Amino acid sequence: MLWNLERFMLLGLFAAVLVLFTVLPSTAATFPTAQNIRNVLSNESVVAILALGSMVPLVVGQFDVSVGATAGMAQIAVAATMSKHGWALVPAICSGLVIGTVVGAINGFLVAKARINALIGTLGVMTIIIGLVQLYTSGATIVTNISPNIVKLGSGTWLGIPPTTWILIGVALFVAYLLGQTPLGRHMHFVGSNPTAARLVGLRIDTIVFRAFVISGFFAGLAGALIVARNGNGDPSNGSNYLLPALTAPFLGATAIRPGRFNIPGTLLAIFFLAFTINGLNLAGVADWINNVFYGSALVIAVTLSAIVARHRAEST
């Protein structure tokens, strides 16, 4: 009973938010339009890719707080290789993916091999990245010579749906495949659930944790390329503002659909619940500060809820 209520509570909240802003007089004219919905979908698909990437280390029981900064650095790489070095679109995007993957490998080495606390290790890496981006760009946004094709990717539609959303669907299917259909994915769940037991059944914990960080880094690189597509430039101040939504969503998502586990539908639901709520509030005229307050509260409430639910379940057995 409580189980099912919990499972669909977030979905219910999401529906309530959609209905509220559709009928609310101050937002009724703009909120339910195709243009607005496409805009939110397109923007949030980038955040969602980052969130799904950061979910993989969470599944093995580790935090990656560098995903936002990594996406920011990959974004600068994609923009700069095109703008300053005249690279073609595809190699430029690849440079972003490579940078993301390398950062992921560094994080993975620090956590899995050097056995540094993941929160501290990735926080350090994040800070270094922010500094390097500042050094390279001197704080200036890269705007010239951005390929019009990548901008089209960020603003057009395929079959009425933004391309970034199509890419998100691809990423979601890949992560679902990885976690649900491969032995590696299952091993990640084992390590996250009980590292001691995982070691005793013969799993190589360091290898599994390392791979989780590499995957997270790769998707941060992809998200970086898509930020260029959305904005048509490379803005060095971008990146860190993606972190909170990307970490909040997996936790909030873990209270829904399959409560108690990080899961993909829950994470996506959480992303779009948060995004449409903020969008509606902004359209209703609430100032920008609401973004931070809302995301922060959602994270705290999500973690509190999961803790309460977990305790309930432990007591009821």
Partner 1 sequence: MGPALTVTQVEAPAAGAALRLRGVSKAFAGVPALIDASLDVRPGKVHCLVGANGSGKSTLIKILAGVYQADQGTLSVGGRTIAAGAITPGWARDEGLSFVHQDLAIFPTMTVAENFAIGTSYPTVAGVKIRWSEVNARCEEAFEKFHIRAPLDAPLAAISAAQRTMIAIARAHQAQGEDAGAPVLILDEPTASLPPSEAQFVLDMARRCADDGGAVLFVGHRLDEILFVADDVTVLRDGRVVRSGPLGGMTKADLVEQIVGRELEQPPVPQAAATDATEPVLTVSGLAGGPLHDVALEVRPGEVVGIAGLVGSGRSRLLKAIAGVVPQRAGSVHVAGSEIARGDILAAIRAGVAYLPENRDADAIFGQLDVRENLSATDVGRFWRGLRLRHSEEAADAQQSIADFLIRTSSDRQPIMTLSGGNRQKVVIARLMRTAPKLLLLDEPTQGVDVGARHELHRLIRAAADGGAGVLLASSDLEELATNCDRVLVLASGGIVAELRQPEIDASRLARLSFPHDLEPT
Binding footprint of partner 1 on the chain (CB under 8 A): 177, 180-183, 186-187, 189-190, 192-194, 196-202, 204, 260-261, 313-314, 317
Residue in this structure with the two tokens 């703008």, named with its chain if needed: 83
Q: Decide whether 7 or 38 has the Cβ nearer to partner 1.
A: 7
Q: Decide whether 1 or 200 has the Cβ nearer to partner 1.
A: 200
Cβ 266 to partner 1 shortest distance, Å: 15
Partnered with residue 142 across adjacent β-strands are 234
Dihedral sign (CA 232, 236, 241, 246): positive
Q: Decide whether 59 or 92 has the Cβ nearer to partner 1.
A: 59
Q: Cα separation of 16 and 28, whole Å? A: 14
Question: Which residues have a Cβ under 8 Å from the Cβ of 152 and sit 6 or more positions away?
Answer: none
Cβ 206 to partner 1 shortest distance, Å: 12
Q: Are 147 and 35 in contact (CB under 8 A)?
A: no
DSSP state of 28: T
Cβ 187 to partner 1 shortest distance, Å: 7
Q: Cα separation of 182 and 164, whole Å? A: 26
Cβ 314 to partner 1 shortest distance, Å: 7
Q: Are 48 and 267 in contact (CB under 8 A)?
A: yes
DSSP state of 256: S
Q: Decide whether 91 or 260 has the Cβ nearer to partner 1.
A: 260
User: Which two three-digit tokens encode residue 80?
Assistant: 């700069």
Q: Cα separation of 138 and 242, whole Å? A: 21
Cβ 182 to partner 1 shortest distance, Å: 7
Cβ 73 to partner 1 shortest distance, Å: 33
Q: Decide whether 191 or 229 has the Cβ nearer to partner 1.
A: 191
Q: Are 97 and 217 in contact (CB under 8 A)?
A: no
Q: Are 147 and 153 in contact (CB under 8 A)?
A: no
| Nearest one of 64, 71, 34, 31 to 49, comparing CA atoms | 71
Cβ 183 to partner 1 shortest distance, Å: 4
Cα dihedral angle (71, 77, 173, 180), rounded to 10 degrees? Answer: -60
Q: Decide whether 138 or 196 has the Cβ nearer to partner 1.
A: 196
Q: Decide whether 113 or 186 has the Cβ nearer to partner 1.
A: 186
Q: Decide whether 231 or 306 has the Cβ nearer to partner 1.
A: 306
Cβ 189 to partner 1 shortest distance, Å: 6
